[in-house]
Amino acid sequence: MTITLDRAKATAAKAIVGASSTSEVIDVALDQLIRLGRLRGDIAAYSRRPATAAEVALALLADTSGLADDTDWEGLYASESP
């Protein structure tokens, strides 16, 4: 496949994600674009109509006690880049 790239953008993107090659940074960029497109689709689907009373009641049945812990998740992953 042949593509035309702005070399300055490719170099900047490689530095941001720590990619070792242009091919790698393009693969990362495509993954991000796909993820963003899916997220936008999910947001659109959820915002089309409000949850019904039955859906809210079902969600409230879940055990969320495991979510309330004292772990400093931000501190644990502070050194990792996105």
Domain boundaries, the chain: 7-62
Burial string for 18-45 (b: 16+ CB within 10 Å, else e) reads ebeeeeebbebeeeeeeeeeeeeeeeee
Specify the amino acid at residue 62: A
Tens of pLDDT along the chain (82 residues)?
888 999 999 999 999 999 999 999 999 999 999 999 999 988 888 887 888 899 889 988 988 777 777 888 788 887 765 5
For residue 78 the two structure tokens come to: 């502070």
Check: pTM over 0.85? Answer yes or no: no
